[in-house]
Amino acid sequence: MPPATGGGLAESELRPRRGRCSPQAARAAGRDVAAEAVARSPKRPAWGSRRFEAAGWWALLALVTLLSFATRFHRLDEPPHICWREVQRTEESSPKGFSSFCLFFSPQMLIGLAGYLSGYDGTFLFQKPGDKYEHHSYMGMRGFCAFLGSWLVPFAYLTVLDLSKSLSAALLTAALLTFDTGCLTLSQYILLDPILMFFIMAAMLSMVKYNSCADRPFSAPWWFWLSLTGVSLAGALGVKFVGLFIILQVGLNTIADLWYLFGDLSLSLVTVGKHLTARVLCLIVLPLALYTATFAVHFMVLSKSGPGDGFFSSAFQARLSGNNLHNASIPEHLAYGSVITVKNLRMAIGYLHSHRHLYPEGIGARQQQVTTYLHKDYNNLWIIKKHNTNSDPLDPSFPVEFVRHGDIIRLEHKETSRNLHSHYHEAPMTRKHYQVTGYGINGTGDSNDFWRIEVVNRKFGNRIKVLRSRIRFIHLVTGCVLGSSGKVLPKWGWEQLEVTCTPYLKETLNSIWNVEDHINPKLPNISLDVLQPSFPEILLESHMVMIRGNSGLKPKDNEFTSKPWHWPINYQGLRFSGVNDTDFRVYLLGNPVVWWLNLLSIALYLLSGSIIAVAMQRGARLPAEVAGLSQVLLRGGGQVLLGWTLHYFPFFLMGRVLYFHHYFPAMLFSSMLTGILWDTLLRLCAWGLASWPLARGIHVAGILSLLLGTAYSFYLFHPLAYGMVGPLAQDPQSPMAGLRWLDSWDF
Amino acid sequence: MWGFLKRPVVVTADINLSLVALTGMGLLSRLWRLTYPRAVVFDEVYYGQYISFYMKQIFFLDDSGPPFGHMVLALGGYLGGFDGNFLWNRIGAENALITQSRLMLLESVLIFFNLLAVLSYLKFFNCQKHSPFSLSWWFWLTLTGVACSCAVGIKYMGVFTYVLVLGVAAVHAWHLIGDQTLSNVCVFCHLLARAVALLVIPVVLYLLFFYVHLILVFRSGPHDQIMSSAFQASLEGGLARITQGQPLEVAFGSQVTLRNVFGKPVPCWLHSHQDTYPMIYENGRGSSHQQQVTCYPFKDVNNWWIVKDPRRHQLVVSSPPRPVRHGDMVQLVHGMTTRSLNTHDVAAPLSPHSQEVSCYIDYNISMPAQNLWRLEIVNRGSDTDVWKTILSEVRFVHVNTSAVLKLSGAHLPDWGYRQLEIVGEKLSRGYHGSTVWNVEEHRYGASQEQRERERELHSPAQVDVSRNLSFMARFSELQWRMLALRSDDSEHKYSSSPLEWVTLDTNIAYWLHPRTSAQIHLLGNIVIWVSGSLALAIYALLSLWYLLRRRRNVHDLPQDAWLRWVLAGALCAGGWAVNYVPFFLMEKTLFLYHYLPALTFQILLLPVVLQHISDHLCRSQLQRSVFSALVVAWYSSACHVSNTLRPLTYGDKSLSPHELKALRWKDSWDILIRKH
């Protein structure tokens, strides 16, 4: 019987590195290199060499950072018009956006703030890609993104340095990222990706740093890196939900770490408890607090009503100033004759709506369309009437009569005077449901216009409250329930959402409604302030809306869409700007040399990693140096590989529309893996040929050729990022003519 | 029950008395009045239909899983009755499983193979300890592989169990590698044997299922349309009858019909007819007012096009024929109207970002004809490849605007007779099936005159060259289509969500007697469901507790007991998890019966936990006796519930509305009560 499946795992793997604390560790690595230098020039005095190596370490870091900044800021002002998705981003970050509530969140504030500070006046109407910025100052916002994007390279450099303790590996990684046209392009525009990647890499770096501080727990650097990890996590999650993956990675790392500490019998349980508490504080409480705080600020800043209101529930809207529900006072109980709007309880469905258009021929009965509509409109108004009389209940001679749970009512559309109606015809999209139409003339229809109004979870006889009561409409004749399927109608329905009457009586939010606006001059108004939702409710609701909005982006069948398997092979890029040969064209495409090297490295890593792992499991005795290198490969490389896996494979499960740029966080990890792998392999090679005189040269030559190769490929492909004018690459006249290595690249 | 308790860990080869008794009971409860509802029940509709296809050897396609399951059912039907696949089951009181296994559905067969796979792996694992490479070792190892592939072959859900077995085998193999008492060669042999049995055999078997499937169903049937032209041509009857004997190489002057490769929303052919685009669309945009070009989902004489050489005037094939090659410039002339396919910088009717495609009419208004297309063969072997009937997938790239002929997927309004819109896509972004076409029907045109040609177009094609698709090509296409076939996410009265399954908040009414209120429901024995979930929770908590204590070097259990505990849990709890969790990610319509495979694993865990509690947690004899009494009480309550729900399982007794109401223990259970 082999050792246990569960327990065996614990002893063997996943213990964190107990290295020296940085920056000493990094300096130590520098020392190796310097030691080589010393070996070559033995005359140099020892104290001078130490100072020299520290200076060299800083100089190298500065060089990497500088190069990164230089490439990112070069020609940042071109093109002077909106590229690709800058539309969305700038719209929400414009100070005008400050006054209208939008669905996107905190990072826009950062960009918006940067734009505000640099004098962007928010008057520019962001409409569609290609619009000119003209005199509007957009450089501040682009500069901010490029600034964050530039930090990716030094972050990756430091992470790899810490994982592998090898300057050459770190340099290689830095070169791959600096000279990758894709990362460069993505950092140059007003997009969320540079911010997201900044936080992901910051989290990774501080996690690695804090791992290497593990031998001095509870020291100042330990606390610093731990809390910095938490802060970066909050940032990453705040930008996009893709930030969840880095959280998962840090979480796995922390669990392994704690598991190791827990198994260390020299530590008392109290110490382990302290460790646990510290991590809970820094990695759970702190990020959550920050995350909610950014939301709080967001809600405070965006407190005015805007076009996105209809996505939110009635109660949510009540807190947006400018919305008609803000500080409003309306009658509390529904009475006959009231003019109301009816809102579906499911987020982002909208109001029950009708308009003077008929269902087209062949789609049910040719009667007036009934839909749901997300925006406020006069066509959302309905009058609630008794089913059997058509008298005007607002006639002052009649006493007020409240609508009660279980009453049979008729809903008359105010603008067209048609009744809400259903019958045994199939609904336009959901074939198993019944069609809902507007029927009758001036409120006179037939018995198919009768609905029973019911409050969910209530007994007979109670009045119906505005906003608070969750109500259902049950069709009297067929027994079906009024609901919205959430499907978008074709052109003839103005792309509003389908309303059906569903014979399946399952209780879903789609068939539950609430009354939002309520006008009845005969009733006294009450203030709505009591309805103001608490902050956690707001938080929850806005997340629900965002998740729904995200998953609603479904690809269409006949469109070409980017598939996750396209990405690592750099199958196809994204046009950022320009189509024709006269345009200024920017094309988001990874540097193929870098990307294909990365792809090769992953395969090579899996191969070499499993060979080493099997050899160790077989109990092979490795020489000290090889053992050290394989540790770097298995642990350092393993951590980075985990990052790549977590940032790449979940996309295969996503049903929403995907874009090429979703791969870039994974690409960062992949590049780090490449750096670690090639450096280790070359060192192993050099060690294997140690008897040979040129052995050490192999390592240097290998790294140098990789660096130079990358740089040269960047020289070839840089027009992709910095912009091209002139004929397309298919044309032999074009300067890019020989570079269209794949038919699927269209630049 | 008790005989079974020892099963996962101490597997004995001899069949003891209790095993026989349990088998007998299992069989009895499943076969009891099996013939009773002499009516079609629930999904039996579909499966029965598929079986009749087998009997008639007609090709069909079902998205629920690979063909093996259907074949098993058909075989059963062939031998004269569903032959009680349920020898395995030792839990006699589970209503849902009884219901499911009595009816002719696939789940029961799937569960059988799932459990067979796990059982034979355990047997194999025991053999491994004392006699590796013995005959029984080989037998059980191979049986594991076979059972896994059968499970996958029945429903794709079987993959989950396969993954579980592979995972456990991988962990054991890893320990084997670490065993330094074995020589390198020995380890290698072990690994090789496992790879062959657990990877190669299942793949080969899976292919075999398809091979048999395709041999059995060689006639064309109702699902032909979904498949590509090449696939259809390989079936007997249907398209093959038409395409049989067509010339292979398309030449200038050929008459062809062009089918869109993507075929969504419906498979269709490039089509044109006399009517023109309306001058002004409903939304105010204008059109070229030229002849409409659409995609039409039915065979029609208007689907015929003539491939014309732009440099010559004739519309017939010269002698010898000049084949069309990749990169050649062609014009496509509509057979019935002799107008040529054209596109220009006018917005398409429904997709304004693309160009309108029309058949050119010269209105003499300085809008010249732009009817030259460059032929690109997508699946070419070399750049000089010839355009072949059925086999070649081609794109038509417009010479002037480099737009690509594409099926947009939108339905035209009434003026276009609700046919599908064809557009010129300017931003052709990579390969997409909607821009790719293949020739389906083809003949060499010989008529010089239009009148003659029209007669020719109406007549069927002749000549004789047969061509066949290789098995692998047919297999990969069929497999791909099955995976890609997304059924409309239709709502069903009895559909449910995975969360409702654990608490048994849902049921499925299978059958209702036409007159009385006797009815069959898929409804679990709630005592067993609850205790199964409870056992799982207890197992998880206990494991966590032990694991933490072991980490601090406190060993509550002796080593071998611990290992048994872990292995049993990995298989049972793991089996439950892999068969349950993936459903949360699925977007298709789900039913209660999807949970049954997971449930069986959960029930297997139950005795493991009970045994563990009585062996290790009950310290004194008294505690042990009390615990045994509790188990007996629990067991009898389970039997009682089973007995109470019996009328709904067997559907043999008509109950009064009052009795039915009494059985409706949960509000969410949908029990049918007749109104009188």
**Structural domains of chain A, ranges and CATH numbers in brackets:** 53-297+573-720 (no CATH), 334-522 (2.80.10.50)
**B206 touches B153 (CB < 8 A):** yes
CB contact under 8 A, B129 and A262: no
Segment B634-656 mean pLDDT: 75
Region at A550 (left for phi over 0; alpha for psi -120 to 50; beta for the rest): alpha
CB contact under 8 A, B265 and A557: yes
Q: Tens digits of per-residue pLDDT, B401-420?
A: 888 898 888 888 888 888 88
- Give the pLDDT score at A135: 52
Segment 247-286 of chain A within 8 Å of chain B by CB: 259, 262-263, 265, 269
- Give the pLDDT score at B628: 83
Rounded CA-CA distance A115/A89 in Å is: 12
CB contact under 8 A, B175 and A259: no
**Do strands B269-276 and B291-296 pair parallel, antiparallel, or not at all (unpaired)?**
antiparallel
Q: How far is B446 from chain A (nearest CA, A)?
A: 37
Nearest chain B residue (CA) to A653? B585
Residues of chain A scoring pLDDT < 70: 1-48, 82-137, 301-328, 390-397, 458-461, 505-506, 528-533, 545, 548-560, 579
Does the interface ipTM go beyond 0.85?
no
Segment 397-416 of chain B within 8 Å of chain A by CB: 406-409, 413-414
- Look at A366-380, B203-217, B281-295, B349-363 and tell me which has the smallest mean pLDDT: B203-217
Q: What share of chain B is helix, strand, coil (3-state, %, to 5)?
A: 45, 15, 40
Rounded CA-CA distance B239/B267 in Å is: 14
Please state, in angstroms and as integers, the Cα–Cα distance from residue B440 to each residue in A405, B419, B435, following that order. Answer: 63, 19, 16
Residues of A in Cβ contact (< 8 Å) with B408: 558
Question: Which amino acid does the sequence have at B305?
Answer: W
Q: Tens digits of per-residue pLDDT, A651-674?
A: 988 877 788 889 999 999 999 999
Residues of B in Cβ contact (< 8 Å) with A2: 172, 175-176, 178-179
- When mean pLDDT is compared over A600-609, B103-112, B550-559, the highest value belongs to A600-609
Q: How far is A10 from chain B (nearest CA, A)?
A: 8
A618 inside 8 A of chain B by CB: yes
Q: Tens digits of per-residue pLDDT, B256-287?
A: 889 888 877 778 889 998 889 988 887 778 88
Chain A with chain B: Cβ pairs closer than 8 A: 88
**A177 touches A129 (CB < 8 A):** no
B36: which 2 tokens? 């009773």
CB contact under 8 A, A572 and B562: no
Region at B502 (left for phi over 0; alpha for psi -120 to 50; beta for the rest): alpha
Rounded CA-CA distance B122/B118 in Å is: 6
- Give the pLDDT score at B225: 64
**Do strands B329-334 and B373-377 pair parallel, antiparallel, or not at all (unpaired)?**
antiparallel
Segment 518-557 of chain B within 8 Å of chain A by CB: 543, 547-548, 550-553
Between A689 and B242, where is the model more confident?
A689
Between B558 and B19, where is the model more confident?
B558
CB contact under 8 A, A430 and B265: no
- Give the pLDDT score at A197: 93
Nearest chain A residue (CA) to B127? A1
Who among B168, B406, B563 is closest to A1 (CB)? Answer: B563
Confidence bin at B389 (pLDDT 50/70/90):
confident
Rounded CA-CA distance A385/A371 in Å is: 20
B97: which 2 tokens? 């499983």
Question: Which amino acid does the sequence have at B48?
Answer: G
Nearest chain A residue (CA) to B129? A1
Rounded CA-CA distance B319/B322 in Å is: 8
State the alpha helices, DSSP H only, in B322-461: 450-458
Rounded CA-CA distance A358/B581 in Å is: 45
Rounded CA-CA distance B445/A523 in Å is: 82
Q: Tens digits of per-residue pLDDT, B110-167?
A: 778 888 888 888 888 888 888 888 888 899 899 999 988 888 877 778 888 899 999 9
**A657 touches A555 (CB < 8 A):** yes
Residues of A in Cβ contact (< 8 Å) with B413: 360
**Do strands B404-411 and B355-359 pair parallel, antiparallel, or not at all (unpaired)?**
unpaired
CB contact under 8 A, B551 and A263: yes
Q: Which residues make Cβ contacts (< 8 Å) with residue B144, sequence separation at least 6? A: B117, B120, B121, B124, B165, B197, B198
Give the residue from A444, A395, A448, A389 showing the smallest Cα distance to A417: A444
- Give the pLDDT score at B346: 87
Who among B175, B262, B406 is closest to A3 (CB)? Answer: B175
Rounded CA-CA distance B625/B622 in Å is: 5
Query: DSSP characters for B131-163?
Result: -TTSHHHHHHHHHHHHHHHHHHHH-TTHHHHHH
Residues of A in Cβ contact (< 8 Å) with B262: 557-558
CA A609 to chain centre: 32
Segment B465-482 mean pLDDT: 70
CB contact under 8 A, B551 and A8: no
Query: Within 13 Å, how many C-alpha atoms sit on residue B301's CB side?
Result: 12
CB contact under 8 A, A619 and B178: yes
CB contact under 8 A, A4 and B184: no
Q: Is the pLDDT of residue B10 over 50?
A: no
Q: Counting every residue, how long is chain A?
A: 747
Who among B407, B408, B551 is closest to A10 (CB)? Answer: B551
Residues of B in Cβ contact (< 8 Å) with A491: 350
Return the bridge partners of A453, or none: A473
Residues of A in Cβ contact (< 8 Å) with B430: 560, 571-572, 744
CB contact under 8 A, A5 and B177: no
Query: DSSP characters for A102-157?
Result: -S--THHHHHHHHHHHTT--S-----STT-B-TTS--HHHHHHHHHHHHTHHHHHH
Whole-prediction pTM value?
Answer: 0.75
Nearest chain B residue (CA) to A610? B174
B675 inside 8 A of chain A by CB: no
Who among B409, B585, B587 is closest to A557 (CB)? Answer: B409
Confidence bin at B245 (pLDDT 50/70/90):
low
B13 inside 8 A of chain A by CB: no
Q: How far is A248 from chain B (nearest CA, A)?
A: 18
Give the residue from A618, A10, A606, A619 showing the smallest Cα distance to B190: A618
Residues of A in Cβ contact (< 8 Å) with B168: 5
CB contact under 8 A, B171 and A262: no
B581 inside 8 A of chain A by CB: no
Q: Counting every residue, how long is chain B?
A: 676
Angle among Cα B524, B525, B529 to the nearest 5 degrees reads 85
**Mean pLDDT score of chain B, rounded to an integer?**
75
Q: Which helix (H) or strand (E) holds B404?
A: strand B404-411
Residues of B in Cβ contact (< 8 Å) with A457: none
Q: How far is B314 from chain A (nearest CA, A)?
A: 33
Residues of B in Cβ contact (< 8 Å) with A128: none
- Give the pLDDT score at A357: 87
Rounded CA-CA distance A564/A582 in Å is: 32
Sign of CA dihedral B504, B505, B511, B516: positive
Who among A5, A557, A744 is closest to B430 (CB)? Answer: A744
**A450 touches A477 (CB < 8 A):** yes
